[in-house]
Amino acid sequence: MVPQNYITGEYAVGTRTFSLTDSERDETLGSGGKRRIAVRLYYPVSKESAESASKAPALSDRKAKEIMKFAYARKLPDEAVYPEHYDVPPMDERFPLIMFSHGLGSYVEANTFLCCDLASRGYMVASVGHANEALLNEYDDGGSDVMDKSILKKMYDKNVISVLFEMNKIKKYKTAQEKLCAFDRFQDSCCSFLKNRLVEWTKDVLFAENAVRESFAEHIDLSCGIGVSGHSFGGAVAYYLCRYSDIFSCGINIDGAMWGEYDDTPMTKPFCQISCRSNLSFETRPFLDTTADTYQVIFEDMQHIGFADAKFFCPLRFACGKLDDDVLHDNLSYSHHAFFDKYLKGMDRSFGRDEAKVHYIRIH
Three-class SS of residue 229? strand
Task: Let me know if residue 180 belongs to a domain.
Answer: no
Contacts of 88 (CB under 8 A, 6+ apart): 14, 45, 49, 50, 53
Task: Let me know if residue 49 belongs to a domain.
Answer: yes
Tens-place pLDDT, residues 24-48? 999 999 999 999 999 999 999 999 9
Task: Let me know if residue 334 belongs to a domain.
Answer: yes
- Residue 278 CA neighbour count, 13 Å, CB half: 12
Task: Let me know if residue 342 belongs to a domain.
Answer: yes
127 forms beta bridges with 40, 100
What gap in Å lies between CA 187 and CA 229, rounded to an integer? Answer: 22
**What rounded mean pLDDT belongs to the chain?**
96
Contact 294, 176 (CB under 8 A): no
Tens-place pLDDT, residues 189-237? 999 999 999 999 999 999 999 999 999 999 999 999 999 999 999 999 9
* CATH number of 33's domain: 3.40.50.1820
Strand pairing category for 124-130 and 34-45: antiparallel
Task: Let me know if residue 184 belongs to a domain.
Answer: no
Q: What's the domain count of the chain?
A: 1
Task: Let me know if residue 1 belongs to a domain.
Answer: no
Q: Residue 255: left if φ>0, alpha if ψ -120 to 50, beta else—which one?
A: left
Tens-place pLDDT, residues 45-61? 999 999 989 999 999 99
Task: Let me know if residue 304 belongs to a domain.
Answer: yes
Task: Let me know if residue 18 belongs to a domain.
Answer: yes
Q: Is the pLDDT of residue 303 over 90?
A: yes
Q: What is the domain extent for residue 149?
A: 12-155+191-362
pLDDT band at 4 (very low <50, low <70, confident <90, very high): confident
pLDDT band at 181 (very low <50, low <70, confident <90, very high): very high
Contact 331, 297 (CB under 8 A): yes
